[in-house]
Amino acid sequence: MDSDYTLEQTPATRRRNKVREAILAAAERMFAKEGESGLSIRRLAEEIDYSPSAIYKYFGSKEELLEELKDSFFERLLEQVDRVSATSMNFHDRARACVTTYVSTATARPHHYAAAFSSIPTREELAARRQLSWDDFLATPKGQAFKILVDLVEEGQGLGVFDPALEPVKTAKSIWASSHGLALLMIHMPLLPDVQPCPTQTDGDFVAYHADIVMRGLAVPADLPHKNGTRS
């Protein structure tokens, strides 16, 4: 019933969507280049030859517009990781690829990724959102990305390559933190890797290096027997 309406849109709504997309496209362009501070409603309006107040017929506020940019970016990011996680690679490579894909996609649009994690909730907001359930979280793009990690940990434990003593949810959060941190470190301190004495190294190399260390942290400890294996 809804798709009927959206398929045969009236020219009015089609025009409207076109303008809306034009706004988003221009906003995307400006934001990707100059970030949140470089995206001004007035400059944006000038860019698409509209008056500033016209923007408010399509978006309730600048924050709302930004929210849409960030959300659609994070959905693309989730898509990338999801695609990799469904690959037929062997487990180790697949797990590492999830991390490297996440970091690469994040650093490819630094302003987007940083902005997606830029809000610091106040105590009141925190108290209000405390009602959000686990299931509500899993419905969000960030929740889905998180779920991929939880599944990955559980799969690794099932295969006997990850320590069975690890709690999947906590461990997924640990992996996320490590990936998140590398992405933001590369975004905010991009010349940190180049500053070291080995100039031949590229960014991608280090991401793989980091992903490898992260995965090694989840392995079955040396003083524990492997699954079905015996200790020397």
Kindly report each contact of residues 52-61 with a partner whose C-beta sits within 8 Å and lies 24 or more positions away, as own/partner: 55/23, 58/16, 58/19, 58/20, 58/23, 59/23
Partner from DNA, a second copy, none binding residue 206, C-beta < 5-8 Å depending on class: a second copy
Which range, of 58-66, 97-105, 167-175, 193-201, touches DNA by CB under 7 A? Answer: 58-66
Closest CA to 214 of 102, 109, 77, 112: 102
- Candidate residues 41, 175, 182, 220; the one interacting with DNA per rule CB under 7 A: 41
Partner from DNA, a second copy, none binding residue 11, C-beta < 5-8 Å depending on class: DNA
CB of 55 to a second copy, least distance (A): 21
Q: Counting contacts by CB under 7 A, is residue 43 touching DNA?
A: yes
For 219, list phi and psi in degrees, rounded to 5: -65, 165
Q: What residues does 219 pair with on adjacent strands?
A: 162
Which range, of 48-56, 142-150, 175-183, 185-193, touches DNA by CB under 7 A? Answer: 48-56
Q: Counting contacts by CB under 8 A, is residue 52 touching a second copy?
A: no
- Give the ranges where the chain is alpha helix by DSSP (H): 2-7, 11-38, 41-47, 52-55, 62-85, 91-108, 110-116, 123-129, 134-139, 141-159, 168-188, 203-216
Using the Cα atoms of residue 143, residue 144, residue 149 and residue 150 in order, give the sign of their dihedral.
positive
- One character per residue 20-49, x = contact with a second copy (rule: CB under 8 A): ---------------x--------------
Using the Cα atoms of residue 126, residue 102, residue 146 and residue 191 in order, give the sign of their dihedral.
negative
- Candidate residues 6, 10, 133, 200; the one interacting with DNA per rule CB under 7 A: 10
Q: Counting contacts by CB under 7 A, is residue 67 touching DNA?
A: no
Q: Counting contacts by CB under 7 A, is residue 16 touching DNA?
A: yes
Q: Counting contacts by CB under 7 A, is residue 6 touching DNA?
A: no
Judged by CB, which is closer to DNA: 51, or 119?
Answer: 51
Contacts of 205 (CB under 8 A, 6+ apart): none
Other C-beta atoms lying within 10 Å of the C-beta of residue 232: 4
- Candidate residues 24, 48, 66, 184; the one interacting with a second copy per rule CB under 8 A: 184
Count of residues making up the chain: 232
Interface residues with DNA (CB under 7 A) are 10-12, 15-16, 19, 39-43, 49-54, 56-57, 60-63
